Amino acid sequence: MFTIDDLADRLGGYLPLDEIQQVKRAFYYAEQAHDGQQRRSGEPYVTHPLAVANILANMHMDHQSLMAAMLHDVIEDTGVSKEALAKQFGEPVAELVDGVSKLTQITFEDKAVAQAENFQKMVLAMSRDIRVIIVKLADRLHNMRTLGALRPDKKRRIARETLEIYARIASRLGINTIRVELEDLSFHALHPMRSERIKRAVSKARGNRRSTIRQLQNSLQKCIDDDGLTGTVIGRQKHLLSIYRKMRDQRKSFAEIMDVFGFRIITDNVDSCYRILGAVHNLYKPVPGRFKDYIAIPKANGYQSLHTTLFGTRGMPIEVQIRTREMEAMANNGIAAHWLYKAGQTERPIAAGSHARAREWVRGLLEMQRHAGNSLEFIEHVKNDLFPDDIYVFTPKGDIMELPQGATVIDFAYSVHTDIGNSCIACRIDRHLAPLSTRLESGQTLEVITAPGGRPNTSWLSFVVTAKARSAIRHALKHQQHTESIQLGRRLLNKALADYDTSLEELPDGSLHHLLDELSLKNEDALLESIGLGTRLAHAIARQLVDAPREESAEGSLPVSQQGSIMISGTEGMVISFARCCHPLPGDPVIGHLSVGKGIVVHRTDCRNLDELRSDPEKLFALQWSQHIEDDFPVALRIEVESRRGLVAELASLVTDADANIERIGIEERDARLSIVNLTLAVRDRVHLARIIKRTRNLPHVGKISRVLN
């Protein structure tokens, strides 16, 4: 059984004696605090924190991290407070322990909410000290190693959470040794039979391939030695979940995956990496398009290496990774290499860079947390943000930006700055204008064009892939809807109050405050927002505010105030929308229908869909088009034509010449001679539409043209 003395001996290799004594003191404190407690396996509970500290010792973590590992369950599972820990071991250790501890004082109705809230708490602690997540990963690793004592359903739940969150965080921070073990342990817990079968097959395949591996390894080593280069060739093993995912996703057989031989070459410096690359390319022919230089452009988690694939003897594919010893340490320990180098008093740029990248990532998490509506939405953003495949694009100044696979221009704009994303209206990719939804590729240069009046569009949510962009867009849209709802609510309420010869500004303060208290609303903005969103009727609120009887409108008439109709221009934003059933255009007589959550929906006055609402005049509003309208509006046309070639091209050319856009076109055959063209156009107003219809009628073979209503 592993003891504290065994751990102290191990720590003697890199920590001074006084720090080792502090770690031992933390162990004895935890042993006393957990006295009488046992794990599900029946072992004394203190064996768990000791094992967690041992995992951190393998990563050469500092003494405060090791002390926090010893004490990480003390606040949660015993009567010891954070203040008591701070008094005994100092504020940094107490903060680390508190960051790892769950929110035990709060009772949550839902398990998912509890997990999300706990993760959110941990992110806040990570922002103050990144070591929190390293201690948590070590804690989770030991829990996964000892899952055997738990119920099968609990095993699966913990394994799924580990795969979705903690294994990905380990990958994001570059801690490959922990990531691989977490993934394989989770795979075994979720699919024990599949895991066991692949494990046996791998063991058998390695035995059969031993001589081939040795032959290839000797061949690569001889090639390096003959060129007078320094490097060590070691075999690279695939882990179980990686094999399973390739079999499932790429639909490959086990034999196809195991036919690829993997080797890693470790050398002294970066110059030797490129020299060795040239040597192995002379030995075996490289596979075109399979070379990646992660030394010049490191991955987001700080990983650096040269990757190449070679055609070996008899066409066997050989995957080779070439890196320095520091890069190897970085690949295995990630951000933990920062403390490994600090312990040796030789802070390396590679470790320091990893630490800076990790802090940048945590800052991004905090920004997402501020924008997220709740903890569940936040944790979904985090899951989406933890995929490691990246592309690399350039700013106009030549700076490199890392983005996930499939990222778009909008993702790039938000990665530069939230304000740039919010005001983005267009972009240039390699100096050419491109749509904002364009999927980016590595090596492209991007220039984002912004405008003061630019604002996010709801359609952006359908194609962005980064969590930062998604959360920032949702936050901006919520704020935009909130502001616009208040503005619309103020207009609607003032219009209703005009029936009583008053306005919101002229009301006595007491009547408004009394109504806010009666409706349990915080302030005037909350009341106006609810009116703008349609959850409260403006005329009912006006009646309550003036506390006076109101003259009823004649049946079916509209509540037209003395101030006249509400003016609309089409640029009000999210709280005024235009009905798709009748496609109202500037110049059409229009009417507004109050829809809960949407605000006012604009219809033509003759729209049949409003027939049921005409008996409730308080839900309808007389509207009037503004004199200054610059937006385009959709309109549907039905055109009867004689079937012939080139018809669609003629219509498209005509519409373009008339300064309009085709949004949708469809053709249905009535018979062999006649066809019906269903055309949806974007036009400015009725006059613009009339001009297009007149031109279309002049085309030969065009018969009846009608505007589609309802």
Is residue 93 helix, strand or coil? Answer: helix
- Average pLDDT, stretch 207-228? 88
Residue 484 contacts by C-beta under 8 Å, 6 or more apart in sequence? 532, 572, 573, 574, 575, 599
First-to-last alpha carbon distance for the chain, in angstroms, is 79
Burial of 326 (0-12, 13-18, 19+ CB in 10 A): buried
Is residue 447 helix, strand or coil? Answer: strand
What is the number of other CB atoms lying within 10 angstroms of the CB of residue 537? 17
Do the beta carbons of residue 178 and residue 170 sit within 8 Å? yes
Between 111-120, 419-428, 575-584, the lowest mean confidence (pLDDT) is in: 111-120
Residue (of 100, 103, 108) closest to 138 by Cα position = 100
Check whether 182 has a pLDDT greater than 70.
yes
Catalytic-labelled residue, pool 76, 377, 447, 685: 76
| Residue of 302 and 233 predicted with greater confidence | 233
Cα separation, 247 vs 108, in Å, equals 40
Count Cα atoms within 13 angstroms, Cβ side, for 38.
5
Which H or E run includes 621? strand 620-625
What is the number of other CB atoms lying within 10 angstroms of the CB of residue 667? 14
Largest CA distance in the chain: 102
Do the beta carbons of residue 584 and residue 578 sit within 8 Å? yes
pLDDT score recorded for residue 233 = 94
Q: How far is CA 499 from CA 515, 536, 560, in A?
A: 19, 18, 9
- Average pLDDT, stretch 125-147? 85
Please write the tens of the pLDDT for every residue from 80-127. Answer: 888 999 999 999 999 888 888 764 444 444 566 666 666 666 666 666
| Residue of 183 and 386 predicted with greater confidence | 183
Q: How far is CA 678 from CA 273, 548, 640, 664, 698, in A?
A: 63, 52, 9, 8, 18
What is the number of other CB atoms lying within 10 angstroms of the CB of residue 76? 14
pLDDT score recorded for residue 161 = 85
- Average pLDDT, stretch 487-504? 78
Whether 618 is catalytic: no
**What angle, 0 to 180 degrees and rounded to 10, lies between the N-to-C axes of helices 91-100 and 82-89?**
140
Which H or E run includes 707? strand 702-707
Residue (of 77, 59, 57) closest to 67 by Cα position = 57
Residue 608 contacts by C-beta under 8 Å, 6 or more apart in sequence? 710
Check whether 5 has a pLDDT greater than 50.
yes
Do the beta carbons of residue 336 and residue 60 sit within 8 Å? yes
| Residue of 125 and 284 predicted with greater confidence | 284
Q: Where are the beta strands (DSSP E) in 335-459?
A: 390-394, 400-404, 424-429, 432-434, 446-450
Check whether 562 has a pLDDT greater than 50.
no
Please write the tens of the pLDDT for every residue from 356-404. Answer: 666 666 666 666 666 665 666 666 656 555 554 567 788 888 777 878 8
Please write the tens of the pLDDT for every residue from 44-58. Answer: 999 999 999 999 998
Measured at the alpha carbon of residue 562, what is the angle toward residues 558 and 566, in degrees to the nearest 5?
A: 60
Catalytic-labelled residue, pool 77, 161, 259, 380: 77
Whether 77 is catalytic: yes
Is residue 286 helix, strand or coil? Answer: strand
pLDDT score recorded for residue 185 = 94
Is residue 411 helix, strand or coil? Answer: helix
Q: Confidence band (pLDDT; 50, 70, 90) for 408?
A: very high
pLDDT score recorded for residue 573 = 57
Please write the tens of the pLDDT for every residue from 24-42. Answer: 999 999 999 898 888 887 8
- Average pLDDT, stretch 457-470? 85
Cα separation, 173 vs 365, in Å, equals 13
Cα separation, 239 vs 262, in Å, equals 12
Check whether 344 has a pLDDT greater than 50.
no
